Amino acid sequence: MGLGLAFATLRAHNWSLHHPHQEVTMPSATSFKLSMLDLVAVREGASVGQALDVARQTVQHAERLGFSRYWVAEHHNMTGIASSATAVLVGHLAGATSRIRVGSGGIMLPNHAPLVVAEAFGTLAELYPGRIDLGLGRAPGTDPLTMRALRRDRVETEDDFPRDVAELQRLLGPAQPGQRLVAMPGAGTQVPIWLLGSSLYSAQLAAQRGLPYAFASHFAPRLLHQALDIYRRLFQPSEHLSAPFVAIGVPLLAAPSDEEAQFLASSVYQRVLGILRGERRRLQPPEAHFIAKCLPQERAAIADFLGAAVVGGPDTVREGLHALAHSTQADELMLVCDVYDPALRLRALDIAAQALQAMPQSLEPALA
């Protein structure tokens, strides 16, 4: 187990993440929704323009399936990721849809002045009322060289992030009499702010501020349960949220059979190994027996990275998603689905949506 995730085990004979076939009894009052986080992968042999088109097709498909929200992540100077201009992309995806919420997962706040973020997302909120989310992270989302290019001479301190979050809340809230700095557009839009994180810091801050919290378990699941426990225990109700609200990142590789899903997952295994080796590449096509060619320590590192992954056919996906929801009591599972073939990616989302139908849905979440 190693990661403390009771539902995930490492299958020794093929090193795939597997969820045991077991009955999961869910409380009748529990409900969760599916959402999606898109890194907008640039595939080997395809262009950036094609990657953006795949994202547009995917958000439209997610909307048809009834997904709650669709987020894109800010990353810079990465060959295989096309979501660096996050606010621009949020607008593009919102314009291609009509109901699904669209947002950032997240904007890396140290890279931006809060006023600029407030104006950008305030503009989006005016264009697409009631549909825009602003997820915030405190990591740079890039390497040190690019970080310096983004920030120029700005030096961050530990107090900057909570102060910048507070300033963003003020700028997106109603303008007050005598307020000298006003985001226009932005003021009064009340764009929902989420805090994102892979450690305990953002969990504590989200709890103190009464904000929704998204944990990055799609790449760093080790502290998942500890962070959620801290967030829920310390949560202080606010004007924004009356009770804790949690989304967790879930890598999803779904196919009609466990065997095909494991084959498709090799694209993600290659990406993770490249990250671990410091080799950033485009999303590679699947490769048979890829994991068997890795060194034992590389296999273990890939398994740790993907400790919250759901990989398999319909039965495995249904049991995996249900067990993960049961283990974490998350309000939303935010799927990260990097299948190389775009059509098979949409098929994977279909399988996940079908799995959701087997889950009792009795209460609406606190945050729409």
- The two tokens of residue 181 are 């700095």
Res 86: pLDDT: 96
Token output for 242: 């009356």
Identify the helix (H) or strand (E) that includes residue 320: helix 314-328
Supply the CATH number for residue 92's domain: 3.20.20.30
d(CA 64, CA 345): 15
Give the pLDDT confidence score for residue 12 in this predicted structure: 30
Which pLDDT does position 364 carry in this prediction?
A: 39
- Domain-located, residue 364: no
CA nearest to 55, candidates 106, 99, 91: 91
Alpha helices in 67-190 (DSSP H): 86-95, 114-127, 144-151, 160-172
The span from the CA of 74 to the CA of 168, in Å, is: 18
Supply 231's token pair. 């967030």
Cα 95–chain centre separation:
21
Per-residue pLDDT at 151: 62
Predicted pLDDT of residue 7: 30
List, for residues 44-102, the tens digit of each pLDDT value: 999 999 999 999 999 999 999 999 999 999 988 888 999 999 999 999 999 999 999 99
Closest CA to 82 of 40, 38, 36: 40
Cα distance between residue 341 and residue 347, in whole Å: 10
| pLDDT tens, residue by residue, 195-228 | 999 989 999 999 999 999 999 999 999 999 999 9
Other CB atoms within 10 Å distance of the CB of residue 133: 26
What does each of the 368 residues of the chain score in pLDDT, given as a tens digit? Answer: 222 222 333 333 233 333 333 333 333 334 789 999 999 999 999 999 999 999 999 999 999 999 999 999 998 888 899 999 999 999 999 999 999 999 999 899 988 999 999 999 999 999 999 999 999 998 764 556 666 666 656 666 667 899 999 999 999 999 999 999 999 999 999 999 999 999 899 999 999 999 999 999 999 999 999 999 999 999 999 998 999 999 999 999 999 999 999 999 999 999 999 999 988 899 999 999 999 999 999 999 999 999 999 999 999 999 999 999 999 999 999 999 999 999 999 999 999 999 988 665 543 344 44
The structural domain count of the chain equals 1
pTM for this structure?
0.87
191 inside domain: yes
Q: Is residue 233 part of a domain?
A: yes
Query: What residues make up the domain containing 17?
Result: 9-356
| 367 falls within a domain | no
Domain assignment of residue 366, yes or no: no
Residue 2 lies in a domain: no
Is 258 within a domain?
A: yes
Percent composition of the chain: helix, strand, coil (DSSP 3-state, to 5): 40, 15, 45
- Rounded to 5 degrees, φ, ψ at 237 are -55, 145
- In this structure, is residue 199 part of a structural domain? yes
Please state the three-class secondary structure of 268-297 as a single string: HHHHHHHHHHCCCCCECCCCCCCHHHCCHH
pLDDT in the model for residue 4: 28
User: φ and ψ at 202, to 5 degrees?
Assistant: -70, -30
